[in-house]
Amino acid sequence: MGYRLSTVDPARTALVVIDMQHDFLAPGAPLESPAGRAMIPALNDTVRFCRDAGIPVFFTAHVHRPDGTDMGRFADLYPPIAAGAALIEGTPGAALYSEVDRRPDEPLIPKHRYSAFYGTDFEMQLRGRGVDTLIATGVTTEDCVHATIRDAMFRDFRTGVLSDACATYDHPDLGHGAMSAAEVHAATLVVLAQSTADVLTSAEFRALAEKGAA
């Protein structure tokens, strides 16, 4: 049980950086994840390693139209989204956080649901580059990272999640008990490692990519 990557071929691998936006990362943001802000240095180091190794880096941004016509159940789940106060296309809050290292020529995939594959051309872009291995980072671990990498597994990509380059926020008690951000993050990684992806650190990923390039 569980899934492990024995090696990573940089020529057939991509990194996806999920939803590192102001509305998730800025102090006081509507959907703030302090842990997401704290892991930015580790994420940026991984992005720079991938560039040097020839591994393409994709970024995603969760956005909704100002008129709300694409919100669906997100309007029920997240009051800031329903009120037009978070993740609204074209607003400063929906932009990538200023400390996240993205180059203008690196693809940015706008998405409207948790998964970066749902209703986007992400898979076509990956297939067009000959990618068969996808490594996920970003926020939040249990929602958009989880949904994206699980969708990748459904599509028969080899999958990995970097434990020190993902994060989330505290979950309140909605009748089943509260969980801290650290607890939610850890529980999600346990589930992913058992059923969906190799859960590894950034350093372990780099070692596998260097092995694959040798």
What confidence score (pLDDT) does residue 2 get? 86
How do strand 108-111 and strand 57-62 relate by DSSP bridges?
A: parallel
> Is 80 exceeded by the pLDDT of residue 1?
no
**Nearest partner of 38 among 182, 148, 136, 179, judged by Cα:** 182
The residue-averaged pLDDT of 9-20 equals: 98
Q: What is the pLDDT of residues 101-111, one digit of tens each?
A: 999 999 999 99
What confidence score (pLDDT) does residue 156 get? 98
Q: Strands of 158-167's sheet, edge to edge? A: 108-111, 57-62, 13-18, 133-139, 158-167, 198-200
Q: What is the pLDDT of residues 128-167, one digit of tens each?
A: 999 999 999 999 999 999 999 999 999 999 999 999 999 9
What confidence score (pLDDT) does residue 214 get? 84
**pLDDT-derived band at 28, boundaries 50, 70, 90:** very high
* β-bridge mates for residue 144, sequence order: none
Q: Tell me the pTM.
A: 0.97
- Where is pLDDT greater, at 128 or 2? 128
The DSSP letter of residue 6 is S
Joined tokens for residue 126: 């990956």
* β-bridge mates for residue 160, sequence order: 135, 198
The residue-averaged pLDDT of 24-42 equals: 98
**Nearest partner of 19 among 84, 131, 111, judged by Cα:** 111
> Is 90 exceeded by the pLDDT of residue 126?
yes
Position 89, amino acid: E
User: H-helix or E-strand containing 181?
Assistant: helix 181-195
Q: What is the pLDDT of residues 158-198, one digit of tens each?
A: 999 999 999 999 999 999 999 999 999 999 999 999 999 99
**Other beta carbons within 10 Å of 169:** 20
Angle among Cα 67, 123, 127 to the nearest 5 degrees reads 150
The backbone region for 205, taken as left when phi is positive above 0, alpha when psi lies in -120 to 50, beta otherwise, is: alpha
What confidence score (pLDDT) does residue 131 get? 98
Percent of the chain with pLDDT over 70: 100
